Amino acid sequence: MNTQTNNDGIAAAISKIGAMAEAATAIQEINGTTHLVVPDGYKHIDLTAALEKAGAAPLRKNGTVHLGDLASFNVYVADQGEMWDTYIYADPDNLTLTAVLNEHAKIKDEAGWRDHRAVYKAELSREFTTWMQLNKKPMEQEDFAIFLEDNIADVVEPSGEALLQIALTLQAKTEVNFSSHKRLDNGQIQFAYSETVDARAGTGMIEIPREFTIGLRLFKNGDGYKVRARLKYRLGAGKLKFWYELDRAENAIEDAFQAYVNHARENGFTVLIGKP
């Protein structure tokens, strides 16, 4: 190989390397994103995220924040949202409010990224969850009495003291034989029983209400609600089983969540029923 040919090859290689270097530094801005343009056979590298992280602040707001109560949700949306590109989506099935703070604009014909969000989920309170878990589930007499005693603070009608006395009586009469029952004019149910104490037979009556009312928070950090409960029973083989049925508990939950939806509208933002 002569010297001229060798020099030509070196020059061609240097020229190719120079072209590659020039291509590697050809940074282009395309629709707000940053790219390197490299020759065929090489990777296309999107530097947007890397450059953003190297900057003093992000190029735009994004991310999802989860708030612990409705007041915090409303404050965050008011601080971060704008009327023209913010929608709040209320989902009654999942009991969530989701604010999309960079939605598609209402007035201008502009698309939004839809990735800056605030979410609040209404969770059932501990006390209401307890009542819901045993709703419509028959319990043995003593188990029902213990449940009432443990949760008597939630009972508002009749008074907690009155229902507590009934619970204590039921606990004390677990060994008796119940023989009959009837409904009284005052709305209560009367049970007749017989028992043997110290070898002596005796009889007695227990009266319990047909229904009662609990007053408690439906949601954590929420307002108090009254929910009526119908008392049910089954008498068989001289033994009693009790349970209660909350009156339209699902409706009470819907009403409580609707109050949250109405409160979210007070800031002037558009609230839609649905999922974002």
pLDDT in tens, 206-260: 777 888 999 999 999 888 999 999 988 877 776 778 889 999 999 999 999 999 9
- Residue pair 193/177 in contact (Cβ under 8 Å)? The answer is yes
Give me the pLDDT at residue 71, please: 94
Give me the pLDDT at residue 99, please: 97
Distance from the Cα of residue 227 to its chain's centroid: 20
Ordered DSSP codes for 49-106: HHHHHHSSS-SS--EEEEESSHHHHHHHHHHH--GGG-EEEEETTTTEEEEETTPSPS
- Residue pair 89/276 in contact (Cβ under 8 Å)? The answer is yes
Average the pLDDT over each of 46-60, 112-126, 170-184, 249-263 and give the range with the smallest value: 170-184
pLDDT of 196 > 60? The answer is no
pLDDT of 10 > 70? The answer is no
Q: What is the mean pLDDT of residues 94-116?
A: 90
pLDDT band at 60 (very low <50, low <70, confident <90, very high): confident
pTM above 0.75, yes or no: no
pLDDT in tens, 115-161: 999 999 999 999 999 999 999 999 887 888 889 889 989 999 887 77
Give me the pLDDT at residue 179, please: 62
- Residue pair 214/159 in contact (Cβ under 8 Å)? The answer is no
Q: Could you tell me which residues are beta bridge partners of residue 45? A: none
Among 91, 107, 84, 89, CA closest to 99: 89
Domain ranges for the chain, please list them: 3-54, 63-123+256-273, 126-248
Neighbours of 132 (CB within 10 A): 16
Ordered DSSP codes for 117-159: EEEEE-PBPHHHHHHHHTTT--EEHHHHHHHHHHTGGGEEES-
Rounded CA separation 98/104 (Å): 15
For residues 49, 54, 58, 62, the Cα torsion angle rounded to the nearest 10 degrees is: 40
